[in-house]
Amino acid sequence: MKKALLATFVVVGLSSTRLPVAEWPEAALSNGLIQTTLYLPDASQGYYQGTRFDWSGAFKNLTYKGHSFIEPWFDNYDPKLHDAISGPVEEFTPLGYTDAKPGDTFVKIGVGTLRKPDDKAYAFAKYYDIVNQGTWNVKQHKDRKATVAVDFTHELTDPTGYGYRYTKTVRLTKGKPELVLEHRLTNTGQLPIETSTYDHNFFIIDKQPTGPTVVTRFPFEVTAEGKGFGSVILPQGNHLVYARELAKKEQVFSAGLNGFGPTATDYDIRIENQKTGAGVHITGDQPLQKLVYWACATTSCPEPYIHLMAAPGQEIKWTIKYEFYEKTK
């Protein structure tokens, strides 16, 4: 069925005005199987205003067949806190940070032009002052009465020579319990773009704590080293299991799971709740660059990285799909 344009938002400029919590700009999507709500980017009134993650990736919730998959996983909230965000959120590694001197600027795709305050290494948890937020354009599309897709387009031209037009479409597939993130990045600047991007996958399935009920599966035999690996979290063949529930404020972390190959077929991850039978199947159409893993007491997060390169004038595309399911008991 032909999709009709429901609404368009253009976000420019900065303001100190703050909306009440109930009035954060948002958009609800449904395809009759999945129901989800996204927060819309806004420099002064948006739910997420941090400088770590792409602003077009803030999810409020997601449900399928009575199972919940997305909700806040953190205790403390501030719009500028780097990880006060939920759902399948993405981050791009910075452009031009290493070459920038203190006081100069660098670029984060999906965020804007940021100020480098000192000569310290880039730190994702740090908030960097935004010099130029670029321009956001948001379009909602509907099929019959329900919104089924949202296009987020971020455009930025920076004096350093970087420039881009980045579009992410968040789409619910018709007739399937599937969420799709479609990406297009066009290099509109004079400098080549080389970056990595990953999805943090902040899923919480049915409000169950991180522990033996949570299993993460891969299409390869997985090995790993890092905090908690081999004691709290255990590689067993092609999956990771927990020996016990994580305590409040406890974390596990590996800077790189091993075992995947050079093709996109290994970008294939399942996170399952063994108690409720709900799961999410994550696939991407690009080879893995690396595969980080992090978990705390509320969420387990495989973080698949891909490598991106775009010469001036070049457009690149990539897609990530999330299939939600309920295992037969």
Residues 151 and 76 in one domain: yes
* Residues 177, 34 contacting (CB under 8 angstroms): yes
- The verdict on residue 319 lying in a domain is no
Closest CA to 233 of 290, 186, 301, 281: 301
What pLDDT does 12 receive? 39
Q: Supply the DSSP string of 223-271, one letter for each residue.
A: B--SBTBTTTEEEETTEEEESSPPPTT--EEES--B---SSGGG-EEEE
Q: How far is CA 59 from CA 7, 54, 102, 261, in A?
A: 19, 12, 34, 31
- The verdict on residue 324 lying in a domain is no
Q: Which two tokens stand for residue 106?
A: 């660098």
3-state SS assignment for residue 21: helix
| Weakly modelled stretches of the chain, pLDDT under 50 | 1-22
Residues 14 and 89 in one domain: yes
Sign of CA dihedral 201, 204, 208, 213: negative
- The verdict on residue 209 lying in a domain is no
Residues 266 and 185 in one domain: no
What pLDDT does 145 receive? 72
What is residue 61's DSSP assignment? E
What pLDDT does 144 receive? 73
- The verdict on residue 52 lying in a domain is yes
Residues 163 and 261 in one domain: no
- The verdict on residue 313 lying in a domain is no
Residues 173 and 254 in one domain: no
- The verdict on residue 257 lying in a domain is yes
Residues 231 and 191 in one domain: no
Residue range of the domain that includes 263:
214-299
Residues 113 and 240 in one domain: no
What pLDDT does 329 receive? 58
What pLDDT does 146 receive? 76
Residues 247 and 173 in one domain: no
- The verdict on residue 142 lying in a domain is yes
Radius of gyration of the chain measured on its C-alpha atoms? 19
- The verdict on residue 315 lying in a domain is no
What pLDDT does 7 receive? 40
What is residue 314's DSSP assignment? -
Residues 169 and 60 in one domain: yes
Q: Locate tokens 């999956």: which residue?
A: 239
Q: What is the pLDDT of residues 11-62, one digit of tens each?
A: 433 333 344 444 899 999 999 999 999 999 999 999 999 999 999 989 999 9
What pLDDT does 326 receive? 96
Residues 171 and 227 in one domain: no
Residues 73 and 173 in one domain: yes
Single pTM value for the model: 0.92
Q: What is the tally of structural domains in the chain?
A: 2
What is residue 83's DSSP assignment? T
Residues 144 and 220 in one domain: no
